């Protein structure tokens, strides 16, 4: 007779667990014992693990590691669960690790055993050797309690702990409020059973009260001992039908913060080993509860600060839809310097503000609150956007100028932080007490006309989602971040938000979270904006935050090695009204004499505007002509260049028209440069590449323009 047949006859199954591949091989009897069809099968480690009680699996993990290290047998008692989480049987596993280099295979048997009865010898060593089992249990308990982040999680972990040989069936955690005991949580009791214990004086003749008073553990191995030592409160405990009790102090930093009760339905002698386990668990439980209490206090403080400092957008604004989100950073106090605000202005105009004070700490949150109030005050006084930011910059400079030891240099940057983002350090905060700056974007909009005036202080540009789904960064003029130089000017940019268009403003946390830089982060957000369907701004706001902070973001990290988590503030503004699906696709930007690097931004901006243009050669031609036109303005005049690009729809095709205006009255002349000439080819290129071009004098200055017609194979409309 085969060995397999003999083992099957005595209800014993064989299994082999390959640690290297994670594959577990079961014979027919082993599969049956695990609640599977009675046939040989190979399963993944995760599939087999799902059949075991999670507490037992964690326990056997420590036992196996000891067996591998010592080359001995690994023995364990395991509860088998069905698909609904019910225990269907208990099996005993005896296995031998076969070590192969750094990996091993675990080969052994599974055999069904009867559930041990209370008070029998089966209650003692569950996993063979008591001390090995105890070490495995304590390691698992310590890891689980260390990972618990709230009081409720700590109590759930404590209730799930399966102590080797003498697991309690009733638990209670007592706290202290003044001179009275409180119930923090309990397990193994019915709702309402905690009533008599919820507000008990610490002077009461009750074990938990005495533990709190003295700081010493109390062990009651029998009801007779309980009655002898605590006759007054014995009737309260008698009705639960328990046989043994252990009350242990919860001590943190030398202070008794409460007591832990472990009650047993079977007699427990409380041997030195058993007391050692209970004492160790009580210490770990006290530390876990203390950490959870601090974390919950921090979260409550964070939520309170957020509720106080983050505005309520209030009732709907006629003609506008607004949605906003704030997500704090995941570390520390979960407060920072990001904020948004909405301000009602005289004449029906609305102001929207978004900003970011340097740092992720309480001081950043405090400065943010002061700066937000100052901005509201300046805006309510009727100042224009440029004046609002200029005054806010002087205000922030004034309240941080004398802080700390860092001295400002001539540009207002502290010597301590080196200026700019370099001073933020790993946590994104300035040196404690040192001056700080803030980025800010402030806009005013007239809901009736859609005219927007924006002033920007070192903040990321806003983006506009047009009615046809095209998304463009909206370049805006700007100045230094607030608080660096009290005399900084903040020029204003004006444009019109058309009905159906959506304006997005955000802090850099939305772009850079997840290992992204500003460029790769913008590409991620732009794809989400373009792919959004529907008109709900709330759904769009949720989608943007979920894409950055949700589970999927951890599988699509950016190019940076670190994740650089940061606060996130987000504002979405959409103008109501009938959207014209074939409305012109239009954008504009200024290239200043002092910012020749913006020529590259103008080229990239035009490519984004023509993202669905069918002729790539025409796109290259348009970019070349724009580069030539803007460069000529910066070289041959002493003023700025204003670029306006518009895609319009005809019956059959689309047309691109680009204008570059400047303040010079001198008109360009067509020349015939030689082969070695370094200039003079601008108008020649336009004559060769454009379908139409021209130069139009204006009252002050001139405008040079060109037009390109998309080939008939194009879309034929702007939808």
- pLDDT tier for residue 122 given thresholds of 50, 70 and 90: very low
Residue ranges of E strands in 145-190: 170-177, 180-187
| Unique residue bearing structure tokens 């009350």 | 247
The pLDDT assigned to 99 comes to 82
Q: Are 398 and 412 in contact (CB under 8 A)?
A: no
For residues 464-492, average pLDDT: 88
Contact 12, 27 (CB under 8 A): no
Residue 153 φ then ψ, to 5°: -65, -40
Own/partner long-range contacts of 691-699 (Cβ < 8 Å, ≥24 apart): 695/667, 695/668, 697/665, 697/667, 698/661
Q: Between 469 and 138, where is the model more confident?
A: 469
* pLDDT for the residue numbered 470: 86
Q: How confident is the model at residue 706 (pLDDT cuts 50, 70, 90)?
A: very high
Of 631, 693, 697, 694, give the one whose Cα is nearest residue 664. Answer: 697
- Amino acid 266: pLDDT: 86
| Across 8-12, 93-97, 491-495, 701-705, least confident range | 8-12
Lowest mean pLDDT among 105-119, 405-419, 454-468, 495-509: 405-419
Q: Which residue has the tokens 């036109």?
A: 629
CA neighbours closer than 13 Å in the CB half-sphere of residue 284: 23
Who's near 627: CB < 8 A, 6+ residues apart? 599, 602, 603
- pLDDT, mean of residues 148-177: 78
Cα–Cα distance between 646 and 648 in angstroms, integer? Answer: 6
**Percentage of the chain exceeding pLDDT 90:** 16
Would you call 198 helix, strand, or coil by DSSP? coil
325-329, 477-481, 510-514, 632-636: the lowest-pLDDT one: 325-329
Q: What is the mean pLDDT of residues 41-67?
A: 78
Q: Please give the pLDDT value at position 378.
A: 92
Q: Please give the pLDDT value at position 674.
A: 53
pLDDT at 443 over 90: yes
Question: Contact 642/676 with Cβ under 8 angstroms?
Answer: no
pLDDT band at residue 332, thresholds of 50, 70 and 90? very low
- With 0.75 as the threshold, say if the pTM is over it: no
- Stretch among 287-291, 388-392, 532-536, 549-553 having the lowest mean pLDDT: 549-553
More confident site: 425 or 363 = 363
Please report the pLDDT score of residue 583 as a whole number.
67
Average pLDDT rounded to a whole number, residues 116-143:
56
Q: Find, among 141, 59, 123, 78, the residue nearest to 271 by Cα.
A: 123
Distance CA 200, CA 232 (A): 13
CA distance 608 to 473: 9
Are the CB atoms for 353 and 343 separated by under 8 Å?
yes
pLDDT at 174 over 80: yes
How high is the pLDDT of residue 407? Answer: 47
Q: Tell me, what's the pLDDT at 405?
A: 42
Quote the percentage of the chain above a pLDDT of 70.
77
Q: What is the mean pLDDT of the chain?
A: 79
Q: How far apart are the first and last CA of the chain?
A: 79
Which pLDDT score is estimated for 227? 92
φ, ψ for residue 359 (rounded to 5)? 115, 165
What is the reported pLDDT for 500? 87
pLDDT at residue number 429: 45
Mean pLDDT of 130-140: 67
pLDDT for residue 463:
92
Asked whether residue 625 carries a pLDDT value surpassing 70, the answer given is yes
Query: What pLDDT does 181 receive?
Result: 87
> Is the distance from CB of 504 to CB of 462 less than 8 angstroms?
yes
How distant, in Å, are the alpha carbons of 18, 20, 57, 289, 609 from that of 42?
A: 11, 15, 19, 42, 56
212, pLDDT greater than 80: yes
> Predicted confidence band at 624 (pLDDT cuts at 50, 70, 90)?
very high
């Amino acid at each position: 007779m085969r060995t397999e047949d003999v083992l099957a006859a005595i209800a014993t199954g064989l299994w082999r667990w390959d640690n290297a591949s994670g594959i577990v091989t079961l014979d027919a009897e082993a599969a049956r014992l695990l609640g599977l069809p009675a046939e040989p099968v190979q399963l993944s480690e995760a599939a087999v693990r799902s059949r075991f009680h999670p507490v037992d699996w964690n326990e056997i993990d420590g036992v196996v590691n000891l067996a591998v290290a010592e080359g001995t047998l690994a023995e364990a008692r395991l509860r088998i669960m069905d698909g609904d989480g019910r225990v269907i049987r208990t099996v005993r596993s005896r296995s031998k690790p076969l070590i192969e280099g750094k990996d091993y295979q675990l080969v052994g048997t599974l055999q069904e055993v009867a559930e041990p009865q209370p008070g029998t010898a089966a209650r003692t060593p569950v996993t063979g050797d008591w001390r090995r089992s105890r070490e495995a249990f304590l390691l698992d308990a310590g890891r689980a309690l260390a990972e618990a982040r709230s009081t409720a999680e700590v109590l759930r972990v404590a209730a799930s702990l399966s102590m080797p040989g003498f697991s309690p069936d009733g638990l209670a955690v007592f706290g202290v409020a003044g001179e009275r005991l409180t119930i923090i949580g309990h397990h193994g009791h019915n709702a309402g059973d905690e009533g008599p214990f919820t507000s008990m004086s610490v002077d009461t003749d009750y074990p938990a009260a005495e533990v709190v008073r003295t700081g010493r553990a109390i062990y009651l191995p029998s009801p007779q001992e309980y009655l002898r030592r605590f006759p007054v409160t014995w009737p309260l405990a008698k009705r639960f039908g328990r046989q043994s009790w252990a009350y242990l102090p919860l001590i943190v930093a030398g202070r008794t913060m409460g007591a832990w009760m472990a009650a047993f339905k079977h007699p427990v002698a409380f041997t030195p080993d058993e007391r050692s386990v209970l004492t160790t668990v009580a210490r770990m439980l006290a530390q876990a509860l203390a950490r959870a209490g601090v974390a919950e206090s921090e979260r409550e403080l964070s939520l309170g600060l957020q509720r106080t400092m983050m505005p309520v957008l209030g009732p709907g604004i006629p003609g506008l839809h607004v949605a906003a989100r704030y997500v704090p950073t995941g570390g520390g106090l979960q407060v920072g310097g990001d904020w948004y605000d909405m301000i009602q202005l005289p004449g029906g105009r609305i102001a929207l503000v978004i900003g970011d004070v340097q740092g992720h700490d309480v001081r950043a949150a405090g400065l943010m609150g002061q700066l937000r109030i100052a901005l509201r005050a300046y805006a309510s006084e009727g100042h224009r956007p440029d004046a609002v930011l200029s005054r806010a910059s002087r205000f922030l400079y004034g309240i941080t100028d004398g802080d700390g030891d860092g001295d400002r240099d001539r540009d207002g940057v502290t010597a301590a932080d080196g200026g700019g983002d370099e001073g933020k350090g790993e946590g994104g905060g300035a040196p404690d007490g040192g001056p700080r700056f803030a980025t800010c974007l402030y806009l005013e909009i007239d809901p009736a006309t859609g005219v927007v005036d924006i002033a920007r202080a070192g903040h990321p540009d806003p983006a506009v989602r047009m009615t046809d789904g095209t998304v463009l960064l909206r370049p805006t003029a700007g100045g230094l971040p607030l608080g660096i130089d009290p005399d900084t000017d903040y020029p204003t940019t004006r444009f019109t938000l058309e009905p159906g268009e959506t304006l997005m403003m955000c802090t850099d946390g939305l772009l850079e979270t997840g290992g992204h830089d500003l460029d790769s982060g913008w590409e991620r957000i732009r794809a989400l904006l373009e792919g959004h369907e529907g008109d709900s701004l709330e759904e769009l706001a949720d989608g943007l935050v979920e894409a950055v902070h949700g589970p999927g973001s951890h599988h699509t990290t950016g190019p940076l090695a670190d994740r650089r988590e940061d606060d996130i503030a987000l504002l979405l503004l959409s103008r109501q009204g009938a959207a014209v699906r074939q409305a012109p696709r239009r954008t504009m930007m200024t290239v200043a004499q002092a910012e020749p690097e913006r020529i590259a931004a103008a080229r990239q901006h035009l490519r984004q505007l023509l993202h669905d243009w069918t002729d790539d050669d025409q796109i290259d031609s348009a970019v070349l002509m724009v580069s030539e036109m803007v460069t000529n303005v910066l070289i041959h005049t002493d003023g700025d260049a204003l670029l306006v690009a518009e895609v319009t729809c005809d019956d059959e095709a689309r047309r691109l028209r680009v204008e570059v205006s400047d303040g010079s009255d001198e008109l360009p002349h067509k020349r015939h440069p030689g082969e070695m000439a370094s200039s003079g080819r601008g108008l020649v290129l336009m004559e060769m590449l454009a379908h139409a071009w021209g130069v139009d004098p204006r009252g002050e200055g001139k405008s040079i323009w060109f037009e390109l017609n998309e080939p008939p194979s194009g879309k034929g409309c702007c939808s």
